[in-house]
Structure 1
Amino acid sequence: MKRMLMAVVLLAVIGSLVEAAKPSSPIDQILANPAAREQAIANLRAEGPAGLAKLDELRKSITDEIVTHSAANPQQPDARLTARLAAVETLMDEVAAQRYACKSRLFWYTDLEQAQAAATKQNKPILSLRMLGKLNEDFSCANSRFFRTTLYANRDVSELLRENFVLHWKSVRPVPRVTIDFGDGRKLERTLTGNSIHYVLTSDGQIVDALPGLYGPAAFMSQLKTSLQLIEQLAGTDEATRSERLVAFHQLQLSALDQRWASDYQTATQLLNSGSSAVHLAAPSPLRAAQPLKATAAPPNAAAAAQVTRPKKMVEMPLVRAAIPGAEIPANVTDDKLWQIIASLHAAESKLDEASMELIRSQNPIAAHAVRLATTKARIEDPLVKLVRTLENSIAVDTVCNEYQFHRQIHEWLANSGRSDVEQFNERVYAQLFLTPSSDPWLGLAPIDTYTALPNAGVAANR
């Protein structure tokens, strides 16, 4: 009898252990079963942003549990909850098709036809990112990595994108990677070359505008809001009218951009020549707040757009350009100091918000640990302060260079065409603006006329 009782007890204990070992929720089942995981990801992606939102709610509940546990047990973190949170965040990246999706909460289509179908259904335009590498991998091209931290993680940018656009990305080609082996177990890995561009498209894929390279958060939002206003005015128009308004819009943008460039160039030249010590790119209070282009504050309505014709532009712009010699061609300006001063005039457009700062801090745990060791002097000793200031400086310079050089050329191209195929246009952008044509498999990194003293010039092509 005792043996029978002991057997029953033993079976009960084993049963309880087996039950405890079973996944306790669908998410645990997904994490424990690779096959189920792949299917679950496919199912959630099929739901679009709603599928990602389900995981985000789960993430929030786990985060709340961690906060509650930490409050009650400050010295004993719950490893199980921490592991579940990390697993859910990894799953979010896979469902969203974007690294750090737990910060941005953005869902991306990787098939343009699917994006167009979703955009048509939701009556939204498309924001289509073209890049080297993939958005859901750490080692995508540098610009796309900065997009994830300084733009998509930004709360205001994220909200604008989630509410107003259907998002899509496409890899133009793999991104070149280089590894430096120090020979003692240490390695340094980086990406080389590569650029990215955001296209604003109508739901049927027509180009409205294109933002080349990296922009500061405020500048990025300003450009997107301008496009959204224009798209509202294009709604319900026939093909011919739409093309006319798009051409007129880009003519007006080009005219306004040239006027703004003339003003900035004059101010920056005067400051440079005066040797003013008051110019600090990262100053908390920039020399003047960035002012939106007159044309971008409100896109032209049909009546105003009709007035912006090429003859009118050809009459006005020589006068603007003649007023400040040399300012009419931003591409000819190669003085780095001058570009830094111009960037300082718009420094407010590149300030990072706390959400981006939090993500950057999580990517730099050594620096974050240093801050915790000196909390009383954190404002002075925080290693991230200098890092972020340098980053904001770089973004500010990128913003004005991209706007005055690349975006200016894009406006000119689009002002000369009523409708452009995004794939063909993108080929032109990468070939003529980014100087990385698809015809060059080596992206300019292996010139055939350079002697390297290496067999086959160090080139290996395994396919």
Structure 2
Amino acid sequence: MQIRGLLWRTLALSFALGAPARAAASDLPPVLADSIGRERGLAELARLAVEDDDATAQAARQRLRAAGPAGLAAFERAHAAALTAASDAYLAAADAPVDRRDPADLADPARARLLGALDAVCGQRDCVLSRLYWHTDLDEAVRTARREGKPVLSLRLLGDLRDELSCANSRFFRAILYPDPAVRAVLRDRFVLHWASERPAPKITVDLGDGRQIVTTITGNSAHFVLDPGGRPVDVVPGLYAPADFVAALQRAEALARRTAVLTGEALREALADHHEARVRALDEKFKSLARAAGQRVRPLPRAPRPGAGDLRAGQAAPLAISKMAVEAPLLGATGEPVDRLAERWERIADVTTPAVELSRASLGLMRTQQWRSGDPTRDAGDRAAAIVALRRTLALDTLRNEQEIHREIHRWWARGATAPRDLQSLVRRVYDELFMTPARDPWLGLADPSLYGGLVGGGRRTQAHL
């Protein structure tokens, strides 16, 4: 019986490669026959991708992934009802009472296989609420962008977007930005998506000695780099934004990428300079308006000082990503690393901007399923409500800092008289070196300050062979 089952799966997988479909359509024109073969092949692969047999499922998922967005579309068609049910379960979770059980059997093994297959095809963890296809080959993404006439949105992060423990910012993207209906529509319809890892995400484990552990990532930042259909960078959206502000930033960048796609040389430089100078002026006016609304004296924002190579500390980089810092600051403090305080002006302006921050039901549902629960419904409901209030506040602060400080500096790079890197990799390096304060030249990401004594040999640094 096992041999018969293995033979059946082998024949089914062979069928999915397209040969039987082409034979059945041999009386059709070659182009049409190939098209039918591919369609039938992807449909069969989509069915095999959720098989109990791991080898069969893995092979099918890889073939669907290699087929690009068409592979994702085939998977969505083949499992439309089950995927809709899974999405609806997350939406229902947004309003569900807090108890010790996952709502709507989200942990059911069959559903776990379905969502695992979807994530593998998308190239992103927690893809069920966004259904986005992410290229991991930049050249292929640019070829697709040229063919479709779309800009490329290239996410750079620490770690792997498919892993739970990618950097904190990318986890917020997956939970707060990508599932949001407005964000999802812009990403799916207006851009070709790509992601790449800058370096592994540092992880920290607190072992409480009784079987309990806290495991999370620490330090690092992420950014979305906007490229025109030819692969030339035109803008960067740095760090985490509230969903509505992220959509606005993407729409401005998309319009710029499309407008400049046909330009070269001096005409391109002038068009980019015009746009980025206008954005600096718009940010100036926005900051004045926000400062007045917060009851503050209006004064120019000073350019944030950037530390030299010997001054880098994780505690200085942490406030550049407020939502991430809220998670990491207690753990940084436990390591003896002091975290710089946020300027009071941002706190006061956040009092004005926080009420406008909205989270989608999709995001709230995903957060609900990830929340740690004590088992006391009253306490857990209070913790959840407090977490949402705190998150909206930190999102407001993140948006302010990222737009008014970091994005403003990026706009200045493209303004007249400035020198913006013309290739993507140089731009990525400059963002991480100068703005995120996590340069590639620092192997410890500011976490090993030689000026601090902790009573450990070598300051606690260890280097192990990594295969």
Q: Normalized against structure 1, the TM-score is what?
A: 0.74
- Alignment of 1:123 with 2:149, yes or no, is yes
2:452 alignment counterpart = 450
Cα distance in structure 1, aligned partners of 2:461 and 2:181: 44
Alpha-carbon spacing, 1:138–1:79, altered in 2? closer, same or farther (3 Å): closer
Query: C-alpha offsets along residues 346-374 of structure 1, whole Å, 9 cap, x if unaligned?
Result: 3355310111111111212738x766x89
Q: Distance in 2 between matches of 1:455 and 1:427?
A: 32
Counterpart of 1:105, as a letter, is R
| 1:357 aligned onto 2:364 | yes
The offset of 1:248, in angstroms, is 1.2
Residue identity matched to 1:364: Q
In the TM superposition, what are the counterparts of 1:103-122 in structure 2 within 5 Å? 103-122=129-148
Task: Give the C-alpha shift of residue 27 in structure 1.
Answer: 5.3
Distance 2:225 2:84 in 1: 38
Instruction: Give 3-state SS (helix, strand or coil) of 1:190's partner.
Output: strand
Which residue in the other structure is 1:393 paired with? 393
Which position in structure 1 is the counterpart of 2:115?
89
- Pairwise CA RMSD of aligned residues? 3.3
The one-letter code sitting in structure 1 at the alignment partner of 2:410 is I
CA-to-aligned-CA distance 1:379-419 (integer Å, 9 cap, x gap): xx564222111111111111101111111111111222466
Match of 1:328 among 301, 304, 307: 301
**2-structure distance, mates of 1:417, 1:248:** 14
8 Å CA contact 1:219–1:349 kept in 2: the answer is no
Q: For residues 187 and 163 of structure 1, what CA distance do their matches in structure 2 show?
A: 41
Matched with 2:172 is 146
2:221, 2:268 → 1: CA distance? 30
Deviation at 1:336, TM superposition (A): 4.2
8 Å Cα contact 1:216-1:349 kept in structure 2: no
Question: Could you report, residue by residue, the CA deviation over 1:134-181 in whole angstroms, capped at 9, with x for unpaired residues?
Answer: 111011111111000000011110111000000011100011101011
Shift of the alpha carbon at 1:230?
Answer: 2.0
Distance 1:116 1:337, change over 3 A: same
CA distance in 2, matches of 1:102, 1:455: 46
Match of residue 61 from structure 1: 81
User: What residue is the counterpart of 1:439 in the other structure?
Assistant: 441
- The C-alpha deviation readout for 1:230-268, integer Å capped at 9, x for no partner, is 233224333431221011111111122122223322332
Question: Which string of whole-angstrom CA distances, capped at 9 and with x for unpartnered residues, describes residues 99-120 of structure 1?
Answer: 1011110111111111101111
State the TM-score, normalizing by the size of structure 2. Answer: 0.74
Query: In 2, Cα distance between the equivalents of 1:79 and 1:399?
Result: 35
| Counterpart secondary structure, 1:32 | coil
Count of aligned positions? 381
Could you tell me how far 1:41 is from its partner in structure 2? 2.2
For residue 236 of structure 2, the aligned residue among 194, 206, 210 is 210
Question: Compared with structure 1, are the counterparts of its residues 52 and 441 closer, same or farther at alpha carbon in structure 2 (3 Å cutoff)?
Answer: same
Structure 1 spans left out of the alignment, 5+ residues: 1-13, 68-76, 274-323
Instruction: State how far apart, in whole Å, the 1-side matches of 2:276 and 2:207 are.
Output: 48
- How far residue 441 of structure 1 moved from its aligned partner, in angstroms, is 0.3
Structure 2 counterpart of 1:453, which letter?
A: G
Q: Distance in 2 between matches of 1:207 and 1:78?
A: 43
Contact in 1 for aligned 2:123/2:135 (Cα 8 Å):
yes
- Secondary structure of the residue that 1:405 maps to in structure 2? helix
Q: Which has the larger Rg?
A: 1
Q: 1:345 aligns with which of 342, 352, 368?
A: 352
1:156 to 177, 182, 192: 182
2:62 is the counterpart of 1:42: yes
Letter in 2 for 1:41: R
Moved over 6 A (4+): 21-25, 64-67, 77-81
Query: In structure 1, how many angstroms separate the alpha carbons of the residues matched to 2:303 and 2:434?
Result: 16
Q: Which letter does structure 1 place at the counterpart of 2:387?
A: L
Supply the distance in 1 between the matched residues of 2:359 and 2:84 (Cα, whole angstroms). Answer: 26
* 1:230 aligned residue: 256
For 2:456 and 2:153, the matched residues in 1 are separated by: 44
Partners of 2:139 and 2:254 in 1: how far apart? Answer: 21
Letter in 2 for 1:55: F
Q: Structure 1 residues 86 and 58, CA, compared in 2 at 3 Å: closer, same or farther?
A: farther
Change (3 A) 1:257 1:83: same
Q: Distance in 2 between matches of 1:216 and 1:90?
A: 28
Q: Relative to 1, partners in 2 of residues 1:268 and 1:331: Cα closer, same or farther, differing over 3 Å?
A: farther
Query: What do the CA deviations read for 1:198-246 (whole angstroms, capped 9, x no partner)?
Result: 1111122211111111100000000111112223322433343122101
For structure 2, the 5+ residue unaligned runs are 13-43, 88-102, 306-318, 320-340
Secondary structure of the residue aligned to 2:234 is strand
- Aligned residue in 2 for 1:307: none
Q: Is 2:268 the counterpart of 1:242? A: yes
Question: Percent of aligned positions with the same letter in both sequences?
Answer: 35
* Contact residue 160 and residue 197 of structure 2 kept, 8 A: yes
Code of the aligned partner of 1:231: A
The letter for the 2-side match of 1:100 is: D
- What is the alpha-carbon distance in structure 2 between the residues aligned to residue 428 and residue 64 of structure 1? 42
Q: Which amino acid aligns with 1:106?
A: L
Residues 262-305 of structure 1, C-alpha deviations (whole Å, 9 max, x = no match): 332233244xx9xxxxxxxxxxxxxxxxxxxxxxxxxxxxxxxx
The 1:258–1:65 alpha-carbon spacing in structure 2 relative to 1, beyond 3 Å, is closer
Report what 1:196 is aligned to.
222
Distance 1:29-1:226 versus aligned 2 partners, 3 A rule: closer
